[in-house]
A and B are shown apart, each in its own frame.
Chain A
Amino acid sequence: MAVYKRGYRRYAGPFTGRWTRFLVLPRYAWRRLYQQRLVLLLTILSFVWPVLCAGFIYLTNHAELLQGLEEEFRQFIQVNGRFFSIFMYVQAGFAVFLAALAGPGLLAPDLANNALPLYFSRPLTRWSYALARLTVLVGMLSVVTWIPGLVLFGLQVGLAGGSWLRANWSLGAGMFAGFLVWILVLSLVAMASSAYVKWRVVAGAVSLAFFFILAGVAAMIDSVFRVNWGHIIDPAWSVNQVWCALLGVEMPPGPGAGASAWALSVTVLLLVVVIERKLRPVEVVS
């Protein structure tokens, strides 16, 4: 029977489980995200560098192709911690722009259109809503960060063999953990800025500015006070320190990986507080 002839009847069928409901928001959000051309374009562009890196890995594992190159250059082109750190820097840059482009579109419209009471009047808590939105960003950024990273790692293992894996497994684990830290910071910054500003475009600009402004302030502190601990307030720099430690690469001068990890934890905590305060179904003015 045609739907317009049926009339409304109360739903009396079975209900889905809690986890199925939790995944509803990410499912709809991903569909809407990849309908945006810019997001799609940036995602595709972000695969260029992994493809180049894959070519590089292939090259380094085929000695016959390197015949005739100088020994010094052959030593330089090796798949090691430095190689993966360079791969991570480039992909991290793409992730920043992707988060700034797509992140605010997840939260700001809900806040601007007062949609939160509709969500929270359903079996969905504030935390599960925030977690669902975080899942969207983590999923989207994973596609351009640790997933291609692990594919490259796997390619290297496949070409270089088990001995290389035994000697360098920490690179894969470090890359995975390092990217997760970066994704978490980026996602929370995008969510906090859109929760605070509520205006999608401005929220995107704010989440980009967050990194540039903090980097500028950190540089200012270092030069004014003639110290090198100022960079601790710059999350990008702190993440870099952590990455260097994870990949066994030489760190730039300044606070070590432990202090940087603490600084990142504080940043994450502050961002969570901002999100917690803003994601409320009703705003109470006391």
Chain B
Amino acid sequence: MNTIPVVELENLKVRLGRREILHGITCRLGVSGTGKVVGLLGPNGAGKSTLILTLLGFLRPSAGRARILGLDCQHSMGEARSRIGYMPENDSFIGDMTAVTFLRQMGELSGLPPEAALEQAHQVLFHVGLGEARYRELRTYSLGMKQMAKLAQAIVHGPELVVLDEPTNGLDPAARRRMLKLIADMKNEQGMNVLICSHLLRDIEQVCDEAVIMKDGAIVQHCNLEEERRSNRHFVELEVTGDDGNLRAALPEIGAEGVPEGHGRWRIVLPPGVEVEAIWGLVERQNLLVRKLTHRRDSLEEIFLKAMGHLAQTPGEGPPSPRSGFGEAG
């Protein structure tokens, strides 16, 4: 099995002028060829864009090493670039070209033969919803259309890895949904790996399998969102009326553990394979009345706020968090 990470960083340091922007980052993201979406989160100035630009070979590391698809970002960038697609954050296009010509040229530059590039250009423009506007000059496109054209040029050559910098910027809700669906399709149907840089937690949460949270040029959290989603299913918030003094002792009957929070409120952790229906049965046997029962959602927002230091810990969770798929990194 191919276990080459999509992105591998070893003590990566990047300086811009006299300032060190990335302070020795070490991590492994995604596995090449498996169709994973990795989100890169962080406040402004965290170093997300610097990291992406370094991975693309636009910036030179001052120390350490960065590899993309197993290829060194300094020494084998030519080969790596033919296997990646990049959608920049800002407007980037050639204004006086039609979308088809623009995509064809970009495809040919990535190594597609002219006929194949033309065919792919048409296909990808229909795929992103610009089929009817493909013979229009790019400068006449709306912001949303330009975003789609940027995505189209990033995938026209069928790359193994697509790097998307703020892909939903400036999109209306419908276009945003469409963009996120396209990203999910890239992963699910085309088997592409995607690296998304965004400050929109909901976007990352919706499409990503892994999330990396950056702060002040370091990775402060690297979590496996798939595992998070799975583990969230086992956390239950329960509120009961009646004498719940025996509940703690009774919980191991179903293999669960719980912590009372007073006034009939409980936080319960269910083991894998035990469904929430078991709680209902246990509570009934204890002659208690259920006032509230919810699965707790430990959202990416909570993980992000914790990583940023705005939240000491997720409410109800014992310190420190063992649930993060990868724990802290960097």
Contacts and interface: CB of A to CB of B under 8 A. Distances in A.
Nearest to B156: A11
A42 to B, nearest CB: 20
Interface stretch (A113-121, A147-155, A266-274): A113-121
Nearest to A10: B158
Contact of B92 (A8, A115, A280): A115
Contacts of A110: 94
Given A13-B113, A121-B86, A123-B81, A113 B92 contact: yes
Contacts of B79: 123
**Top 9 A-B residue pairs of the complex, sorted by shortest distance between their CB atoms:** A286-B17, A10-B158, A8-B127, A15-B111, A121-B86, A11-B158, A3-B122, A24-B108, A281-B58
A60 B251 CA distance: 113
B158 A121 contact: no
Given A3-B122, A123-B78, A12 B158 contact: yes
B94 A7 contact: no
A4 B123 CA distance: 7
Nearest to B112: A11
9 contacts: A6-B126, A13-B112, A13-B116, A24-B109, A114-B91, A115-B92, A117-B58, A117-B92, A284-B17
A28 interface: yes
A22 B167 CA distance: 29
Contacts of B92: 113-115, 117-118
Contacts of A118: 86, 88, 92-93, 106, 153
Contacts of B163: 121
Interface string B245-260: 0000000000000000
B163 to A, nearest CB: 8
Size bracket of the B interface: 35 or more
A125 interface: yes
Interface string B175-216: 000000000000000111000000000000000000000000
B46 interface: no
A226 interface: no
Interface string A4-44: 10111111111110000100110010001000000000000
B90 A114 contact: yes
A121 B81 contact: yes
Interface in B12-60: 16-19, 53, 56-59
B110 interface: yes
Given A11-B116, A286-B18, A109 B95 contact: yes
Given A7-B127, A109-B94, A109-B95, A14 B113 contact: yes
Interface of A: 3-4, 6-16, 21, 24-25, 28, 32, 109-110, 113-115, 117-125, 280-282, 284-286
Contacts of A113: 91-95
B222 interface: no
B111 A7 contact: no
Given A11-B116, A109-B94, A124 B123 contact: no
A8 B78 CA distance: 26
Interface in B123-154: 123-124, 126-127, 131, 153
Considering residues A113, A114, A122, which has the most beta carbons from chain B within 10 angstroms of its beta carbon? A122
B97 to A, nearest CB: 8
A122 B110 contact: yes
B73 interface: no
A119 B109 contact: yes
A286 B119 contact: no
Contacts of A114: 88, 90-92
Interface in B86-108: 86, 88, 90-96, 101, 105-108
B157 interface: yes
B78 A125 contact: yes
Contacts of A282: 53, 58-59
B129 to A, nearest CB: 11
A16 B93 contact: no
A123 B76 CA distance: 10
Given A11-B112, A117-B88, 7 more contacts: A115-B92, A118-B106, A120-B57, A282-B53, A282-B58, A284-B17, A286-B19
A122 B126 contact: no
Contacts of B106: 118, 122
Contacts of B221: none
Given A4-B126, A118-B86, A28 B105 contact: yes
Contacts of A13: 112-113, 116
Contacts of A4: 126, 131
B307 interface: no
B120 interface: yes
Contacts of B58: 117, 120, 280-282
A26 to B, nearest CB: 12
Contacts of B105: 24-25, 28
A8 B91 contact: no
Contacts of B192: 10
Given A16-B108, A284-B17, A121 B84 contact: yes
Contact of A15 (B59, B82, B124): B82
